[in-house]
Structure 1
Amino acid sequence: MTKRICTVDTVYSLFLYFLINGVSDDDLFIFSSGVPEDIRKNINHVYFPSSRFKFCADDNLIKFAVMNLGVCFRQLYGILKLRLLMLFVGDDVEIYGHGHTQFSYMFYEYENAYLIEDGLANYRKLESNFISNRLLNFLGLYIKGSKSGYGTHENIKKVYLTYEGFCDVSSKAEIIDLNALWENLSLEDHLKILKIFNFSNLENIDVLLITQAFSEDNLMDLNEEMMIYSEIVEKYPNIIIKPHPREVKDYSKIFPDNTVLDKHFPVELLVLMGIKIEKTVTISSTAVLHFPASEIETYWGDINSSHVKKSREALECLIKGLKD
């Protein structure tokens, strides 16, 4: 019997996996810290420890090595743990999820791999493939942002996207409709999904702000990020805030006069549960694309980060495509 394995590092892609395949206790889930603990605890899973290299300003190689010794051990421990796990699972498997994470080697070593959309990176022009040697492959190290990690590798049979427009994998893309997938699931699956994501029903919302983990991902200075959100809140004083699952900022303390939703459930559940939202505001979150295009507003002011600027431009192109 074919074993399904879901290896994702975001709440959004985990949610898409459930919409595509339903909820089964027979599936194997592999997570890292991108899936928050209060969701991980609701699913039987294997945990892969996060390991991100730290860099020093003076380019001292010895200092760099000492600073990252623990990171290397965590990385090796995680890879060996997964290698041993896969020996017990066997070769008759289907892999679903992300092919660009530090624990994605399975997408390149098993023949039936299916990529699930993660965000704007799935719609950008990406770098050329990184030619890695056998040792790096064994360690599970692949370059994030390479084309192979987003669908061009021969073992990736299909790429599940919610919108058209990524030419590099257009031959493999399957465009999915979240509403249709949700309707096709059983009531039992609906209840399981709501329980996994700790979702509580809400009233209708006039204006919703969908934030992102810019400062956590070192894409924007925290002060700039808060200045932008302060400007948005000033324009819409009664706006309700939906934080990104990876954010560590406490918006209830930053904006005590505003309602802050639980950050861990996928915001798409608001649409699927029939909660009416008059307007959705963001800087560059693709989550807004699941709301009617006429009700979406991207941040209108200046942004210093070139990466965030490009993300906003890419999002605006997708919104324009929806309106057209």
Structure 2
Amino acid sequence: MIKPSFQLSKLTYYEINIYNDWTYMGYFLRSNKIYYNLLEDAKDSFKVLDNYVKIDYKKSLLHKILGFAFETLYFHGKSKYAKVVEVNDDLVEELGINKDSALILSQPLFQDAMVDTEDIQERVYRDIIDIYCKGLEVYIKPHPRDTFNYEKVFNDVKVINKNLPIEILDFNPYINFNKAITISSSSINGIDIVDEKIYLGFDWLKRYVNDSL
């Protein structure tokens, strides 16, 4: 006799959250009449479910013939066991849609010994803002290794979570920046959500070489 390798009791968990319900997990939950919350998995498809699911399950002939057996085939949030279909647009709201904006891709300049102090690193990015971001709302995307506290030092900028790969923003058609600026981050080459890309290069840092003397 083959024993199931996975068991999930209705009494074990107060809430069950899954990111798509067309997988074996979704089938398991529906087959066992277990209710769940369906959360957006970053494809943004749950906002336009009618484009993907054309069948009105409850009015279909198969539902009338198969009854509950057909219920296990419902997915994309159409099952009665999907209590909630949650779409998270927090990042879009945070970035601000349809605003004139600039994106700065920072680097750990002090940590990588490209400048001598964190104060100089602050000056580098303050100068970039003053020269290239006039009249624009400024967003800084720190490098994952960059420990500089931009939120504390720059009160007039918004800081994007440094652990978020900037390339992910390319998948959202509502996000666009007038320009992106960086010293030498290769990430600028991997995004198309900007009208203008400004690659300053290491020569930009030469003006700060003697600042600590």
- TM-score under structure 1 length normalisation: 0.31
The structure showing larger relative contact order (alpha-carbon pairs under 8 Å, at least 6 residues apart) is 2
- TM-score under structure 2 length normalisation: 0.45
Q: Which has the larger helix fraction?
A: 1
